[in-house]
Amino acid sequence: MKTINIADLQQDTVHYLELAEEEDIIILKDGKPVGLLRGLTEEDDLFDYQLETHPLFIERVRRARKAFRTGQSTRLEDVRDDLLQTEAPE
């Protein structure tokens, strides 16, 4: 992961946007991180980012992890078996 000063970003924004297509870039101001420059190179990158940072999704993941830790989760194999045993609607 590359780090750059905010002044460098202001001087050559296009260059750093192109670099961000390859790797995330941490933006520093007075030596402290103030931002992250991330390129969106694939069609689904924006959707993925929006999903990963959405509060409702984060809460759902937190609840699922808690259920998993307490043994209250459903194994993927069980879901698959249930789906295969259920007749498809006509």
Q: What is the pLDDT of residues 25-37, one digit of tens each?
A: 999 999 999 999 9
Question: pTM score > 0.85 for this model?
Answer: no
Which positions of the chain have pLDDT values less than 70?
86-90
| 54 shares its domain with 32 | no
pLDDT of residue 89: 59
| 33 shares its domain with 60 | no
Tokens of residue 58, six digits: 């984060």
Helices 55-69 and 45-53, packing angle to 10 deg? 70
Structural domain of 21:
2-37
pLDDT of residue 90: 58
To 10 degrees, the CA torsion angle through 24, 5, 10, 14? -30
Q: Determine which helix (DSSP H) or strand (DSSP E) holds 5, and give its type and residue range.
A: strand 2-5
Instruction: Confirm whether 50 is domain-assigned.
Output: yes
Instruction: Confirm whether 76 is domain-assigned.
Output: yes
